[in-house]
Amino acid sequence: MPHLLPEGCTRAAVTGGAGFIGSALVRRGVADGHQILNIDKLTYAGSMDAVAMVAERASYRFLRADVVDGDAIAHAFAEFAPDVIFHLAAESHVDRSIDRPAAFIATNVVGTHAVLEAALRYWSKLDTARRARFRFVHVSTDEVYGSLGDDGLFREDSPYRPNSPYSASKAAADHLARAWFATYGLPVIVSNCSNNYGPYQHPEKLIPTVLRHALRESEIPVYGDGRNRRDWLHVDDHVDGLLQLFAHGRPGESYLFGGRAEIANLDLVRTLCRILDRQRARPSGGSYADLIAFVADRPGHDFRYAIDPTKAERHLSWSPRRSLDLGLEETVAWYLAHPSWLERPAAELARLGLSRAGGQSR
Would you please indicate which residues are annotated as catalytic (active-site) residues?
142-143, 166
Q: Are 332 and 269 in contact (CB under 8 A)?
A: no
Burial readout 147-176 (b: 16 or more C-beta within 10 A, e: otherwise): bbeeeebbebebeeebbbbbbbbbbbbbeb
DSSP symbols for 278-314 = HHS--TTSS-GGGGEEEEPPPTT---B--B--HHHHH
Rounded to an integer, what is the distance from CA 15 to the centroid of its chain?
12
Q: Are 209 and 203 in contact (CB under 8 A)?
A: yes
Partners of 294 in the β-ladder: 222
Nearest to 332 by CA among 345, 320, 341, 319: 341
Distance CA(355)–CA(167), nearest Å, equals 19
Residue 46: DSSP 8-state: -
Q: What stretches of the chain adopt beta strand conformation (E)?
A: 11-15, 35-40, 60-64, 84-87, 135-141, 188-193, 195-197, 220-223, 229-234, 254-257, 262-264, 292-295
Residue 117: DSSP 8-state: H
What phi and psi, each to the nearest 5 degrees, are found at residue 132? -70, -30
Identify residue 141 by its one-letter amino acid code.
T
The Cα-based distances of 241 to 41, 190, 276, 304 in angstroms read 25, 12, 29, 23
Distance CA(141)–CA(7), nearest Å, equals 29
Partners of 84 in the β-ladder: 12, 135
Torsion of CA 113, 138, 204, 297, to 10 degrees: 90
